[in-house]
Structure 1
Amino acid sequence: MDEKINKVILNLQRNNMAGYFVENKEDLIQLIASLIKKGEKVGCGDSVTLEETGVFEFMRGGDFVFYDKHQKGLTPEEKREIYLKNFDADTFLTGTNAITLDGKLFNIDGNGSRVAPMLYGPKQIIVVAGINKLTDTVEDAINRTRQVAAPLDAKRLNKDTPCTKLDRCIDCRHEQRICNDFVLITGQFVKDRIKVILINQEYGF
């Protein structure tokens, strides 16, 4: 695994993205705190990993302007306002569905509110991922996301899609389908705009 992680980090760097490796969530929080300045505007994507590792809790208690889309009682209009603010954030925090050995990030999104800021807008993107998100190839990344992550996420979101019953993707056309935007990030114009932090544990789907 050490050799695999070293290879991923090296290839991220070759693709103009920064790669980091931490042992646990305590080290993760310490690293994130060093990468975000006090008073910065911080947005976030929907992420089980960020919830499980305590990143959201840290942001809520820190000295940041945190665009928290997980506040209770938000209307669809209020959520949309937060989504738009994310484009002007200093930092955008998110998980990812898969990271390939050659340093590429693959994600599937429902409405684009997570992947769109990863592509453009925020000055800095911090991606947090457990080692369970590592895949050998792009094909493996797509398969993992569609057949493992998406059905579990659809269940979490209480969707009525076929995958929640079959535990696998059948490429449905259900009105509640969450697999709408397939995005592969292979590199960056701005060096180290995207920073990927790998944790030596399994988190998220």
Structure 2
Amino acid sequence: MEHHAWHSKVIGEKTVSKLKKHGFEAFFFSTKEEAVEHISAQFFPGLKVAFGGSLTARQLGLRELAKISDCVIIDHGLPDLSENERLDIMRQELMSDLFISSSNAITLDGSIVNADGYGNRVAAMIFGPRKVIVVAGINKVVENEEAAMSRLKNTAAPMNMKRLNRETPCSIDGICHDCNAEERGCRAYTILRRRPAPTPTQVIIIGENLGM
């Protein structure tokens, strides 16, 4: 086995083992194709599927596959929405049958770490949807919660702010300033150390680099 694939598999499976001990249903897939097959098998006509603004989900083509399966798509990322329309859809996402998102970081010891601007994504990962799927590339896996916060602040957030054309210090120089910018994207921080009690949650780790 090629060295990179071997390392991804070892790290991914170790993380999955810890997540299972913490009450999550967790899987490791070596390729995105395997992961997509697993996720899309859970789609069926009429299922209300919501997306948490995930670049990873977009890279996997999950929205298109849900549409092909005649799912009801709830997505605040549609173009040409007004702010009020976007907020209304975010509220609808909390009542979905299946909420699909990625994570800013997942630790080797089984914690899921995120920061959010509106709070809609982290709220839905905790309570509301009947089921949650968190899907992440191996690049999101870090050693511990301290490393997760560092990744969030100095990798994920600056790249996301740049992608969204936000006027923040990190979108200029690529590092966190713990700013008070009006367009700051890191406002609500969550650490899921165990599965939220009422919410069936799958965590899928893919042995490829995905998202930010």
Give the TM-score normalised by structure 2. Answer: 0.92
Partners of 1:15 and 1:187 within 8 A in 2 = yes
Aligned to 2:170: 163
Q: Counterpart amino acid of 1:104?
A: S
**More divergent stretch after superposition (62-71 vs 132-141):** 62-71
Partners of 2:126 and 2:196 within 8 A in 1 = no
Aligned to 2:100: 93
**More divergent stretch after superposition (110-119 vs 37-46):** 37-46
Q: Secondary structure at the match of 1:84?
A: helix
The answer to whether the aligner puts 1:109 opposite 2:107 as a matched pair is no
Aligned to 1:70: 77
The answer to whether the aligner puts 1:55 opposite 2:62 as a matched pair is yes
Q: Secondary structure at the match of 2:136?
A: strand
Q: Counterpart amino acid of 1:126?
A: I
Partners of 1:17 and 1:191 within 8 A in 2 = no
Distance 1:21 1:3 in 2: 10
**More divergent stretch after superposition (156-165 vs 63-72):** 63-72
Q: Counterpart amino acid of 2:137?
A: G
Instruction: Write out aligned runs for 1:21-40 (5 A).
Output: 21-40=28-47
Identity over the aligned pairs, expressed in percent?
34
Distance 1:75 1:25 in 2: 33
Distance 1:167 1:16 in 2: 35
Provide, for residues 126-182 of structure 1, a one-character-per-residue CA deviation record: whole Å limited to 9, x for no partner. Answer: 011000000000000000010001000000010110001111001111111001011
Give the gaps of 5 or more residues in structure 1. Answer: none
**More divergent stretch after superposition (18-27 vs 125-134):** 18-27
Distance 1:125 1:26 in 2: 20
Distance 1:28 1:182 in 2: 27
Following TM superposition, by how much is the alpha carbon of 1:64 offset from its aligned partner in structure 2, in angstroms?
Answer: 0.4
Aligned to 2:155: 148
Q: Secondary structure at the match of 1:88?
A: coil
Following TM superposition, by how much is the alpha carbon of 1:10 offset from its aligned partner in structure 2, in angstroms?
Answer: 1.0
Distance 1:101 1:137 in 2: 6
Root-mean-square deviation over aligned CA pairs: 1.4
Give the gaps of 5 or more residues in structure 2. Answer: 1-6
Q: Counterpart amino acid of 1:119?
A: I
Partners of 1:92 and 1:122 within 8 A in 2 = yes
